[in-house]
Amino acid sequence: MNDSPVLWLPEDGQQKMIGFASAEHPLETGGVMLGYANPPHVVVTEIIGPGPSAKHYRYRFIPDAAYQQAAIEAHFERTEGGETYLGDWHTHPNGIARMSWLDKLTLARIAQRTEGLAVLPSMAILAGGAGRWELAAFHHVKKAGILGLRFQQPKMRIKEYKRETRHEATACRPLAP
Ligand SMILES: [Zn+2]
């Protein structure tokens, strides 16, 4: 059985990220992913963008924190608490879809900050530019070891689902086998 983590995106999810990414390219942008989880499945139902007051630079961006917080809260209420924050996504303009050391540190810090949530956070990275975007995602996983609690950040498999199938048992039916 393959129990490596899976990031499920709605069929228009990646296109939505690419839309935000193209609008700022070659500067960096990003946002947050909202949804629910049924481990090892993480099901994204909403992609939130950077927000109108975000600041974009070549190798980083500063999200519009008030905009994102409001979007997270509105989604939480709309789904009666059934869906919540799953993690961040950001771009690597003209770069590669891999975690930088800073990305790894950031994901570990998010995991600490969101410890009360049922879902360990994920981080998606959209790398490239026009016509050659590549998406990768990573999941924060706790590992108990001899030296205490450690963690790993394995790469997730990314799959797409059709909106109307999102509440099926384990997660969703893939668009293609
Ligand atoms: Zn990065």
Binned at pLDDT 50, 70 and 90, residue 4 comes out as confident
Alpha carbon distance 139, 25 (integer Å): 26
C-alpha 104: how far from its chain's center?
Answer: 13
The pLDDT assigned to 177 comes to 41
**Ligand 1 centroid from CA 136, angstroms:** 11
Cα of 1 vs centre of ligand 1, distance in Å, is 31
Per-position DSSP letters for 86-147, written without gaps between them: EEEEEEEETS-SS--HHHHHHHHHHHHHTTTSSSPPEEEEEEE-TT--EEEEEE-EEEEETT
CA of 169 to the centre of ligand 1 (A): 33
Ligand 1 mean position to 28 CA, how many Å? 9
Give the pLDDT of residue 175: 45
What domains are there in the chain, each with its CATH number? 6-165 (3.40.140.10)
Going from the Cα of 41 to the center of ligand 1, the distance in angstroms, rounded, reads 23
Which comes out higher in pLDDT, residue 45 or 38?
A: 45
Q: Is the pLDDT of residue 37 over 80?
A: yes
* Burial bucket for residue 151 (CB in 10 Å: 0-12, 13-18, 19+): middle
pTM of the model: 0.90
Q: What is the mean pLDDT of residues 44-71?
A: 97
Reply yes or no on whether the pLDDT at 98 is more than 50: yes
CA of 60 to the centre of ligand 1 (A): 8
**Quick check: 135 pLDDT over 70?**
yes
Burial class (CB in 10 A: 0-12, 13-18, 19+), 7: buried
The CA 40 to ligand 1 mean position distance, Å, reads: 23
d(CA 64, CA 41) in angstroms, rounded, equals 28
